[in-house]
Amino acid sequence: MAEMISAGDFRNGVTIEFEGNVYQIIEFQHVKPGKGAAFVRTKLKNIKSGGVVEKTFRPTEKCEKAHIERKDMQYLYNDGELYYFMDPETFDQISLNADAIGDALKFVKENELCKLISHNGSVFGVEPPLFVELLITECEPGVKGNTATGATKPCVVETGATLYVPLFVNEGDTIKIDTRTGEYLSRV
């Protein structure tokens, strides 16, 4: 039996099944107008397509809670078309196409652990580790005399992704990156 949740109990981060799609609640607001019935205004993110829709619900309206599974999988490699992952416990392998991956693996090296996100057994997304350490493979040297605070320059890391780093960072340095924002955090 599916677990139901009423709109009056919506919280950010809750995933629901609605109109044949699975949505994550990213914003909600209880509205009590002077006249008429109260309602709940929501912003829902379609977890498969990434699109955001706005919907209003009556507080008593019920939706089915969607059971989302997150599983640790090791990213093995990609062959240009497919990305291969392995379950570190069972050694089962699965492959995903680039559409399912999007930009998620931009900063992820082979053999790193990621979380594969699935609904009813179908994987629709990958969560990289929050922080990764990567080697800088291409970087212009910092310009001497440029001491502008906050000045940055583009660099390429070993996964092929480009990001902006402070001027003192050089090719050959290993840096720590926040994968959610793609921001440089520190040298390692």
User: How far apart are the C-alpha atoms of 177 and 25, rounded to whole Å?
Assistant: 27
Percent of the chain with pLDDT over 90: 70
What pLDDT does residue 157 have?
Answer: 97
Domain at 131-187, CATH homologous superfamily: Nucleic acid-binding proteins (2.40.50.140)
Q: Would you state the torsion angle of the CA atoms of residues 110, 178, 137, 162, taken in this order, to the nearest 10 degrees?
A: 110
CA atoms within 13 A on the CB side of 55: 20
Is residue 158 a contact partner of residue 137, using CB atoms and an 8 Å limit? Answer: yes
Q: Looking at per-residue confidence, does 175 or 67 come out higher?
A: 175
Give the tens place of pLDDT for each residue, 18-44: 998 999 999 999 999 989 899 999 999
Give the tens place of pLDDT for each residue, 110-153: 999 999 989 888 888 899 999 999 999 999 887 666 666 778 99
Shared fold status for 4-65 and 68-127: no
What pLDDT does residue 80 have?
Answer: 86
Q: Which among 183, 92, 173, 83 has a CA at the least distance from the CA of 126?
A: 83
Question: For the whole model, what pTM was predicted?
Answer: 0.73
Domain range 4-65, CATH architecture: Roll (2.30)
What pLDDT does residue 53 have?
Answer: 96
DSSP letters of 26-84?
Answer: EEEEEE--SSS--EEEEEEEETTT--EEEEEE-TT-EEEEP-EEEEEEEEEEE-SSEEE
Give the tens place of pLDDT for each residue, 91-111: 999 999 887 788 889 999 999
Most distant CA pair in the chain: distance in Å? 68
68-127: which CATH topology? OB fold (Dihydrolipoamide Acetyltransferase, E2P) (2.40.50)
Domain locations in the chain as residue ranges: 4-65, 68-127, 131-187
Mean of the per-residue pLDDT values for the chain?
A: 91
What pLDDT does residue 141 have?
Answer: 81
